[in-house]
């Protein structure tokens, strides 16, 4: 009933045309870099709350050390 003769494979030629003067290695490095960038941004969005808390506590810790240093100079 269904034949595989008419089934087309996905063609990357339109994407390769964007890099007319570039080598195929550069094309695949670019694709991998885009995938890594998307994954990094996704993880950053997921863990933003955790990162904000860590940075917040780090800033408070540094401010406490600075205040203790100022107090030790005054005394």
Report the number of secondary-structure helices (H) and strands (E) in the chain: 3, 0
Q: With beta carbons less than 8 A apart as the criterion, state whether 13 and 2 touch.
A: no
pLDDT of 6 higher than 70:
no
Going by pLDDT thresholds of 50, 70 and 90, the confidence category of residue 28 is: confident
Helix (H) or strand (E) holding 28: helix 24-46
Q: Which two tokens stand for residue 17?
A: 């045309």
pLDDT digits (tens, 9 = 90+) for 29-60: 777 888 888 888 787 777 777 777 777 888 88
| pTM listed for this prediction | 0.41
């Amino acid at each position: 009933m269904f034949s595989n003769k008419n089934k087309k494979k996905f063609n990357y030629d339109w994407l390769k045309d964007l890099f007319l003067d570039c080598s195929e290695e550069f094309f695949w490095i670019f694709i991998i870099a885009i995938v890594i960038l998307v994954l990094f941004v996704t993880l950053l969005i997921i863990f933003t709350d955790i990162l904000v808390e860590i940075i917040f506590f780090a800033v408070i810790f540094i401010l406490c050390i600075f205040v203790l240093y100022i107090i030790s100079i005054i005394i």
